[in-house]
Amino acid sequence: MAKILIIVLGKGQQQLKIEEYRKAHYILPQNPSEIKTTPFVGEAIISLVGKESFDKVFILGTNDSMWHTLYAHCVLENESDEDITTYFNTISEEVSNRELSDTSQKLIEKEFETLSCTKTAIEIIPIGKNEDELWSVFETISKIPQQNDIVSIDITNGLRYQPLFLFLGLFYFKTILNNKIKNVFYGALELSAEFPALDEYGKQEYETIYGKQQVKNLTPIFDLKPLIEIMDWINASNTFKQYGDLSLFIKLLQDKNIDNNLIVKAKDYAQSLQLNNVENIKSNSTIFKNKIKEMLENVTTEIKPLKFVEEAILDFPNQINLKNNSWEIMWLMSERYYKSGQLALATILLFEAIISRIAKIYLNNGANIDESKIKDSKFCSEVARSQSDGTENVALRNFYNQNQLANFPVNFAKLGNYRNGLAHVRGNEHIEIENLPNDFPKLYKYFKSNINNTNLENLPNIYKHPSMP
């Protein structure tokens, strides 16, 4: 596990003499008294953050990035005995021709490594003038870290799209390679005027640049890691909204070290969803929603990104809280699984929703029925199939036919077969489960149109539950 820093070298001013490139006075806002003066923000980051923070630095650049200027600066700072003019001119020519040689690349790596006291590697990337080159840029970036490396990036320089690629790379590193993202640096040269250099008496300092006296300003290096945090919260909320998975959201809460009560309630809610525990889903949904609201209203425990994803996180709990019956909650969950492509769970819950709907009808008509018991669940299943004791019930069949529900028993039987095929792998070889992706949309559409059919309320008049007089 290595700590790496990835920076981009821009093109800068191409036609320069050895010592002409303008320097900036870099600071970290949290420690403005420590200043690093250099033309290269990457060097300033390593110096100000501390060379012990990085095991290796990767410098990305095109063939015509200002490698000659970086080389000259390193040699001058290192007080090297090399023939700086000859090498500078050679590298300058290669940059002009967009053909940085391996020899020059190794030379620059060596000098920057000496300057920064950090192992250095140069990665040449194409300009990105077409789609293939853009993919090549991202491929180069994606291959830099190893799994579990700790990654920091600097998005200050480069062609305008290149920092965006680095930022996308962070998302790839974090989600695919399991890298920890430590820092996202940005040297805000455009804000230097907001950070004037003051002497020990608090007076403005001045400096001479190109023979002219100018105000001396400091350039802050910001850490934009909160942008990554926002992406994490967006990803967690979207994962929950799409798939009902709260694990990423819970991990973010744990990372914040906030009141454990919310974490406990979130875990309870997640567990009830995972177990399809309808009895607890609504109550846990309400508790979870109230805890989120409480967290957002309490300034001492406020999590800033949470308010931006509140609507997405609370969308499903809000939908659940609008439902009054168990079968409606089951239907809602089945619908959610269907829309996210989880057909197995969608099928099982659609089947259970219909069982629960029929149980509710009988309960409303005075039956002593408990859908959680096998006997009563079987009774509801037989009613939906127009059967009694495993054989066709003529009265129920006629009822369905007379109320434009002739396909209700047929479709329920088909749904039940799929449900059994999913729940019991063995002994159901006759069920062609591979047809489910084609059949489920039709079954879903049919029951969506008919599960609320008011004629179903008359079922207890046609076929009574054993508890009914």
- Give the tens place of pLDDT for each residue, 335-381: 999 999 999 999 999 999 999 999 999 999 999 999 989 999 999 99
- Helices and strands (H and E) in the chain: how many: 18, 12
pLDDT at 405: 95
Cβ–Cβ under 8 Å, residues 145 and 171: no
pLDDT at 144: 94
Cβ–Cβ under 8 Å, residues 462 and 393: no
186 and 263 part of one domain: no
pLDDT at 300: 58
299 and 186 part of one domain: no
22 and 144 part of one domain: yes
The answer to whether residue 412 sits within a structural domain is: yes
pLDDT at 120: 97
d(CA 173, CA 180): 8
Write the pLDDT tens digit of every residue in 162-193: 888 888 888 889 888 889 999 999 999 999 98
217 and 245 part of one domain: no
pLDDT at 429: 63
Write the pLDDT tens digit of every residue in 198-221: 887 878 888 877 677 887 899 999
298 and 201 part of one domain: no
The gap from C-alpha 22 to its chain's centroid, in whole angstroms, comes to 40
Q: How many domains does the chain divide into?
A: 3
pLDDT at 426: 62
pLDDT at 224: 92
The answer, yes or no, to whether residue 430 has pLDDT greater than 70, is no
Write the pLDDT tens digit of every residue in 286-325: 999 998 888 888 755 567 888 889 899 999 999 999 998 9
pLDDT at 425: 66
63 and 151 part of one domain: yes
250 and 213 part of one domain: no
62 and 209 part of one domain: yes
d(CA 62, CA 393): 78
192 DSSP 8-state letter = G
143 and 42 part of one domain: yes
Cβ–Cβ under 8 Å, residues 152 and 5: yes
Range of the domain at 301: 229-321
313 and 333 part of one domain: no
* Domain-terminating residue out of 264, 291, 321: 321
